[in-house]
Homo-oligomer: A and B are copies of this chain.
């Protein structure tokens, strides 16, 4: 199970074609064919159906493993590369949209910053593979609980902010006048499904757990990343949305009611490559220090 073979395998599976994978990888079609054959004889299993080219059940399984393996391999290379590379003057930050709160934004240095918004699950990957020097992720958790992040590589996560969650609903909604809402009050409501812009509902179910959390009924699905749009959709009565309290301000026609039960908070964490062989003078360390220092 040479990583080389695995790489061509995932490429073939992704492109559903030996020839295109060969072009993509800079090999000949013959080489790709031999790679796949080598993998299949090594494992003693057919991994792909030909014509059409598609993974077998075993091949699907291998795809999961191979993805994680190649990721970790890249992460290791990037991590070791940090030892050799000269310290850079710029700072690349990968962040999930809702992790960009006033507080995290204020901690960014004034110059030389590249900020990249990514889906939540890709932020740890970006930090691990060195695409970004630091990461900011958000998620829901019990108070002072760390987020559950996939451990693609040894990363150091430190909490940055915690703030209440709020349900966004139309201003004229009967529940809008309440001081606080319980999730149990809303089991029959229709939710906006906005995995990129809001809190993904499945994640909420996982944290909330238990029988009360089963079955969020979803109304509209919004695939963009803009929080204002999401709040506007909620204001328009398209469904309920769950957002950190600070992100609910100033959308006309909407009301935000804090979620009081279950006790959950919106948490953002700073992600750095673990080990911290960083000299304390670089822009990364500077950023981390500013984030940690002033705890209002």
Copies of this chain assembled into the complex: 2
Residues of B within 8 A of A43 (CB): 77, 80-81, 84
The stretch among A25-33, A64-72, A132-140, A172-180 that forms the contact with chain B is A64-72
* Main secondary structure on A side of the interface with B: helix
Asked whether, in the complex, the Cβ of A65 is within 8 Å of the Cβ of B83, the reply is no
Residue contact A77 to B45, C-beta cutoff 8 Å: no
Residues of chain B lying within 8 A (CB to CB) of residue A144: 209-210
Is the beta-carbon distance between A84 and B45 smaller than 8 angstroms? Answer: yes
| A37 located at the interface, meaning its Cβ lies under 8 Å from any Cβ of chain B in the complex | no
Interface size on A, residues (CB 8 A): 40
Interface status of A151 (Cβ within 8 A of chain B) = yes
Which chain A residues (74-129) contact chain B, with CB distance < 8 Å? 75-77, 79-81, 83-84
22 A-B pairs in the complex with CB atoms less than 8 angstroms apart: A2-B2, A2-B3, A3-B3, A45-B80, A61-B80, A62-B76, A62-B80, A64-B154, A65-B72, A65-B75, A65-B79, A65-B153, A65-B154, A66-B76, A69-B69, A69-B73, A144-B210, A145-B207, A145-B209, A146-B206, A148-B148, A150-B151
